[in-house]
Amino acid sequence: MTSRMVRSALASALVVAAVVATVMSTGCQQAGRSNVTYPATGQPRLVELGTAACIPCAMMAPVLDELKKEYAGRLQVESIDTFYNPGAKQQYDAPFCATQIFIDPSGKELFRHVGYYSKKDILAKWKELGVDLEASAGQRGTPKSAPQPKTGGG
């Protein structure tokens, strides 16, 4: 009897582990949210909802930090801990941890993903959605490190 219970418990644990691994690796888009609007910010915005206890959320933290630093002034990146802000789950209709929501500058939701999402995939998704963050960088003017043209006699 005991070995049968152990085998059953192990089988159940394997099924749960497989489901978690699938969600973490592939994620899923939740349909039916493309008509939602949020306050306009004038910049594209990536909102991630999760908790510190969530493994995919913890994996997302360094990705979000890199995006914040690398695309400052071109992309707003917001991470909301739903443990401390439980109302955010309802506000964004995000019942699952590690939900990333892509919002355009006018506040329209463009896409959402659940699970771990790599930096490369996030940037590719923005481009697919028509938001080229790299092009935005080139349109911001001359970089500070570039030599400035001299004026006057010289």
For residue 82, what are the contacts with CB-CB under 8 A and spacing of at least 6?
49, 50, 51, 88, 89, 94, 97
Fold of 42-131: Glutaredoxin (3.40.30)
Residue 33 has pLDDT above 70, yes or no: no
User: Residue 64 in contact with residue 58, Cβ under 8 Å?
Assistant: no
Residue 35 has pLDDT above 90, yes or no: no
For 76-135, write each residue's pLDDT tens digit: 999 999 999 989 998 999 888 899 999 999 999 999 999 999 999 999 999 999 998 886
Cα–Cα distance for residue pair 35/109, rounded to 1 Å? 7
What is the pTM (predicted TM-score) of this model?
0.68
Cα–Cα distance for residue pair 119/113, rounded to 1 Å? 13
Give the pair of three-digit tokens for residue 44. 């594209």
Cα–Cα distance for residue pair 24/88, rounded to 1 Å? 21
Per-domain residue ranges of the chain: 42-131
For 37-74, write each residue's pLDDT tens digit: 788 889 999 999 999 899 999 999 999 999 999 999 99
